[in-house]
Amino acid sequence: MRTIRRILVAVKDPQSKSLPAVAKATQLARALGAHVELFHDLNTPIYIDTAGPTEEGYSGMMREQRARRLSQLETLASRVRKHGVKVSVAAEWDFPAYEAIVRRATRTGADLIVVGCRTGHRFAPLLLRLTDWELLRFSPVPVLLVKNTRPYRRPVVLAAVDPGHAHAKTSRLDEEILNTAAAIQSALRGSLHAVHAFMPTPVGATSSDLLNGDVLVRMQKDLETAATARFDRALRKMNIPSARRHLIGRHPQDAIEQAVRETHSALVVMGAVSRSGLKRIFIGNTAESVLDDLPCDVLIVKPTKFANRVPRAKRGANLIVPQPMMPSGLY
């Protein structure tokens, strides 16, 4: 696990009255001795009117907006400094937002991205939450999605591991999840728990097996025994007592949510592997599936050698030239 020395906080609205992402990043930075950067991405489309301002006029407008945002960020930064945390501010014209955040994190060597997560029903405001999903998918840097305003007070940190690697994770990802969770838990003086989900129904069971109670019980017992052995191996280097090890025979999404509610976890640390195309649609991703359902914050980590597919070059302002309307008779 990389040491967290620099935290980038993506601030969508510097004027918002409630900024839990900034507050929790400040807590983490103070506990870890890390530097915080408050970053705002200026991605509002600018519609170029050929009859409107000149190029210099648009440039001046962009400089003015950037200066205003920097001033607002500096006001936030002054509050963070009162907690003894080193902080800087940055605002850039770039788009889309998730690419801009990843580019800034990569360029500045950030070890953690903190962002406020817009919650809601999974299928309703999907476009409004596109940045959350895409940032989770594409960022090679761990992403902390802040979902509530409650500050961390000796928090329960839950590491969700998959030692069976049923969801195409690499063999080192569980180790990264556990080490990250342990570092956060130690810094915040909380407690570390771990959860592993396994499917209690045998995959290759025939209909006769399922109808035979004795056979089914034996097969389920074998599955639990194997899952326990995998879980113990995954945690062999971690000082986690048995009372804080949660082996749950349910689908991962349901098992993680159950463990969170039973332990009153403040933070879940889990892994995600980027998928694309139809494979992503049909297979899905546990991290994305539980994001809406969990009541606590979620820290997403990626494999150590996760490839950064976001272009390095900034796109600048999102300039749009309106197309002239075609006469109706030409359609």
CB-based contacts of 224: which residues, under 8 Å, 6+ apart? 198, 200, 247, 249
Query: What residue ranges of the chain are covered by domains with CATH 3.40.50.12370?
Result: 150-307
Average pLDDT across the chain, whole number: 85
Q: Which residues belong to CATH 3.40.50.620 in the chain?
A: 1-140+317-331
Give the tens place of pLDDT for each residue, 249-264.
Answer: 998 889 999 999 999 9
pLDDT tens-digit map of 32-53: 999 999 999 999 888 877 555 6
pLDDT tens digit sequence for 264-294: 999 999 998 655 544 443 334 566 667 778 8
- Residue 56, classified by CB atoms within 10 Å of its CB into exposed (0-12), middle (13-18) or buried (19+), is exposed
State the distance between the two ends of the chain, measured CA to CA, in whole angstroms.
Answer: 60
Model confidence, pTM: 0.87
H or E segment and range at residue 304: none
Report the CATH number of the 150-307 domain.
3.40.50.12370
* Weakest-pLDDT range from 109-118, 200-209, 272-281: 272-281
pLDDT for residue 125: 41
Report d(CA 245, CA 193) in Å as an integer: 6
| Cβ contacts of 155 within 8 Å, gap of 6 or more | 185, 188, 190, 191, 265, 266, 267
The number of beta carbons lying within 10 Å of the beta carbon of residue 151 is 12
CATH number of 1-140+317-331: 3.40.50.620
